[in-house]
Structure 1
């Protein structure tokens, strides 16, 4: 799969956040969108994911506009919602109703060092972030979008995240970050 950005620009009101962003990203690659605070990293990530419309340019997947392409994707950020009324087991079982998991729910929880029977509402912010990240690593996804993926993770959580990202070979991984530890594991950078 090849994802292409052609002359991508975004403005809010009369102010351009960024312009003329061109890139070609392929399956099996990890890419970090980098730049100063306010440069539009999260905005570009959301445009590539199809959540925001660019003010100019277009995103294509295998030559088709992103909204016309058929691919499986997941978006994880510290601000993305999770169903806190569920236990982790219920949340992962629910997720399994619309995406195929690549290992058992028990293996997912064990890998992330999370309890299956505890309500997600009782998780710490770091535990909630690991629960969201499980949906990236252990379900079939063609593209994995991550915005500041290790925010709220302790050292153990970061090491788990790094191991899992480095093990992804059949996906395109795109993350937005200012964290050099996150950026350094990526093969490419898009700097705003």
Structure 2
């Protein structure tokens, strides 16, 4: 899927977060949205995901044909530390529940094994550490069968083993997808082919 931003801008009250952003995101390529904390990286990623509306300009989604903006979410997966997981569920239940909305590329037990949560597969997510919950978010996004993968500060709360896992998962499961990473941590995006500094669009 291709995503094109045409003179896109977003403001809250009188403050412009970004403006006059003209960009084309191509399938099977990787991009990083960079900038300091509070610069608007997450806002831009959420706008691309269709989670928030832009204030000016337009965003176009295209597969084999044009895709209506309100249907684009079906082809997008988003991982972000602020996204809630259903803590009353086990990770097994949660991934089966998620898979009822978006198909998964592997069976749930295999996904749980790949993200290192097999020992806690039947424990309620409420008892997970913050790092384990982030592994659940990564599993939900990376193993959804979608052509677009959006990652917002994907290594939040991960230790060194978790960061290494993240990089293996991206290498193994994101190569043929449109990947956009929002981050100010080089370990999260140094493999990206293009960098977009949001400070250039203020």
Q: Which bin holds the TM-score, normalised by the shorter protein?
A: over 0.9
2:184 corresponding residue in structure 1: 178
Cα deviation, 1:91-122, whole Å, max 9, x if unaligned, reads 11111212222112111111111021111011
2:42 aligned with 1:36, yes or no?
A: no
3-state SS of paired residue (1:10):
strand
In the alignment of these two chains, the number of paired residues is: 192
Shift of 1:174: 1.2
For 2:58 and 2:45, the matched residues in 1 are separated by 13
User: Which structure 1 residue ranges, 5 or more long, are not aligned?
Assistant: none
Cα deviation, 1:115-143, whole Å, max 9, x if unaligned, reads 21111011000000001110122220121
Q: Alignment RMSD, CA only?
A: 1.5
Shift of 1:64: 4.7
Range 39-48 or range 94-103, more displaced: 94-103
2:98 aligned with 1:95, yes or no?
A: yes
1:107 corresponding residue in structure 2: 110
Q: Which structure's residues are more often helix, by fraction?
A: 2
2:156 aligned with 1:155, yes or no?
A: no
Q: In the alignment, is the contact (CA less than 8 A) between 1:109 and 1:116 conserved in 2?
A: yes
3-state SS of paired residue (2:10):
strand
For 1:106 and 1:47, the matched residues in 2 are separated by 33
Q: In the alignment, is the contact (CA less than 8 A) between 1:100 and 1:140 conserved in 2?
A: yes
Runs of 4+ deviating beyond 2 Å: 63-71
Cα deviation, 1:30-79, whole Å, max 9, x if unaligned, reads 21111122221111111111111111111101255533557421221111
Equivalence map 1:8-23=2 (5 Å): 8-23=8-23
Range 121-130 or range 13-22, more displaced: 13-22
For 1:105 and 1:53, the matched residues in 2 are separated by 33
TM-score by length of 2: 0.89
User: Which structure 2 residue ranges, 5 or more long, are not aligned?
Assistant: none
- From 194, 197, 201, the counterpart of 1:191: 197
For 1:160 and 1:95, the matched residues in 2 are separated by 22
Q: In the alignment, is the contact (CA less than 8 A) between 2:76 and 2:150 conserved in 1?
A: yes
For 1:73 and 1:152, the matched residues in 2 are separated by 23
